[in-house]
Amino acid sequence: MSIEGVVFDPNDPELKETLTYLTIPTEERIKLQAQPFDGKKQCWVPDPKESFVAGEITGTKGEEVTVKTAKGDNLTFKKDDIQQMNPPKFTCCDDMANLTYLNDASVLHNLRDRYGRWLIYTYSGLFCVAINPYKRLPIYTIKAVLMYRGKKRTEVPPHLFAISDNAYSNMLRGDIGSFCLDRENQSMLITGESGAGKTENTKKVIQYFALVAAASAKKEEGKILPGVYVTSAIVARQGKVLDEFGITHIISIQAKPISPFKHREYLLISPQDHISQDLLQYAAQCNDFIHNARLNQGKVLIHCRSPSIACIYVMTITGISWSDTINSLRGVRTLVDPNFAFQRQLKYFYDQHMVQERERLFTKFGPFNMINDDISFVMKNLALYHEEQRRLTGNFIDIDYLHLSTKNDTNISSSDNDKTKNIHETNSDLDDFFQNSDLSSMTPESRSLLDQMFSS
């Protein structure tokens, strides 16, 4: 069983059946949320059979409350035994941490209401509550795996696969606070009483990891150009792996250098992963290091959390736009995600300095006859990225020809220009990027600092 060749299509009948066991149809949810509700009267009261039943307060006398239950009984309770009821907008709530009143009755009602619709997974903050359906549900198929692969927990219905994907992504992404990518072990606790479904859920977690990891392993991980790789620091510490790939030059982007191996050249730079970091000051130094290695038949490994340095070199050599360059790297390394300040610097470099930097590089090292090969390689990686996006989102856009915008490149032949027929821009302009990002949460000081970096 493999996810290779399987495309995520939201109109697939199999996937539609899966969704009936994961989410409530929009029409039904609107109907449920439109029910009349009086928060001052409606409540939950204890019941010997059902644990709690809904009721409506009809009178109050001192510490006692008279309630007409959903069963039609008029009963009297102490005030302390009455539990508040959530508004209808929380009916079948995906995450119980969002409930206005998080009491025993509300939690039990929400779980029971969802279970009655075969929605067996429900979030409770960081936890995922699973209730054994005692039947097989079509929610663990390969197409279900594709639906959850690479998605945030809030983008898809509650499922064990969402928790699994989050753990898998965190394992690959490593310590967010460090500039260099050091992968960290992850753990999942699956607990419950006998017969709750611990073993079955554990099997599904392993199934998810096996399918996703196997698909990722088939890529030539991190090869962004012939002889240039972007990987994690772990690879840079593995001498046998470096030998296997023939790595001769390493750019180490971290505060402290790793233990160097003999017969390899190292370049150490130590920028911080912060919006105030001027990354472009390293452009010429890193470009010279990478380009010199390639001219001498060497192979370069760049290990860092942000691949912005690699993007600068790719843009300089190929003239391809900053957004297409980032996506081409994502085609072979899905974790590529420069922070918004670095992306702004890449756009600034492409618009203002790329042509001059290319002229400087070629003047220093002479003509470079691999430009056409490099452009073709980037096109291939960009196609991988778009194919992956199509697989995950079901966006069936014709990507036989990808737009790769190039700038002032006299070394690109007309035949290569024909390869890059203009269909549409891969990414929107950076201004749109900022409008859709989390910049609104920045402090005024940080925003001012970011603007000052590029005001000159």
DSSP assignments along 169-208, one per residue: HHHHH--TTSSS------------STTSSHHHHHHHHHHH
Which pLDDT score, from 0 to 100, does residue 394 have?
A: 52
**b/e 44-58 (16+ beta carbons within 10 angstroms → b):** bbbbeeeebbbbebe
- Residue spans of the domains in the chain: they are 24-118, 128-218, 223-453
pLDDT > 90 fraction of the chain, expressed in percent and rounded: 50
Q: Checking phi first, is residue 424 left (phi over 0); if not, alpha (psi -120 to 50) or beta?
A: beta
Which pLDDT score, from 0 to 100, does residue 245 have?
A: 85
**Looking at the predicted structure, is the pLDDT value of residue 305 above 90?**
no
| Sequence-ordered alpha helix ranges (H) in 353-402 | 354-365, 371-393
| Sequence-ordered alpha helix ranges (H) in 258-307 | 283-295
**Could you tell me which of 110, 131, 105, 100 has the C-alpha nearest to residue 47?**
105
Q: Checking phi first, is residue 168 left (phi over 0); if not, alpha (psi -120 to 50) or beta?
A: alpha
Distance CA 140, CA 159 (A): 10
Q: Alpha carbon 365 to chain centroid distance?
A: 39
The CATH code that applies to domain 223-453 is: 3.90.190.10
CATH, domain 24-118, list 1.20.120.350, 2.30.30.360, 3.40.50.970, 3.40.250.10: 2.30.30.360
The residues assigned a catalytic role are 304
Distance CA 75, CA 73 (A): 6
Give the β-pairing of 127-130 and 228-231: unpaired
> In the predicted model, what is the mean pLDDT of residues 61-76?
92
The amino acid occupying position 267 is L
Confidence of residue 201 (pLDDT cuts 50, 70, 90): very high
Q: Is 70 helix (H, G, I), strand (E, B) or coil?
A: coil
Same fold, 24-118 and 223-453: no
Q: Checking phi first, is residue 156 left (phi over 0); if not, alpha (psi -120 to 50) or beta?
A: beta
> In the predicted model, what is the mean pLDDT of residues 198-203?
93
Which pLDDT score, from 0 to 100, does residue 406 have?
A: 52
User: Quick one: DSSP state of residue 280?
Assistant: G
**Looking at the predicted structure, is the pLDDT value of residue 420 above 50?**
no
- Show Cβ contacts of residue 262 under 8 Å, excluding neighbours closer than 6 positions: none
Q: Give me the chain's average pLDDT, please.
A: 80
Q: pTM to 2 decimals?
A: 0.56
**Looking at the predicted structure, is the pLDDT value of residue 262 above 80?**
no
**Looking at the predicted structure, is the pLDDT value of residue 361 above 70?**
yes
Cβ atoms of 301 and 231 closer than 8 Å: yes
**b/e 280-292 (16+ beta carbons within 10 angstroms → b):** bebbbebbbbbbb
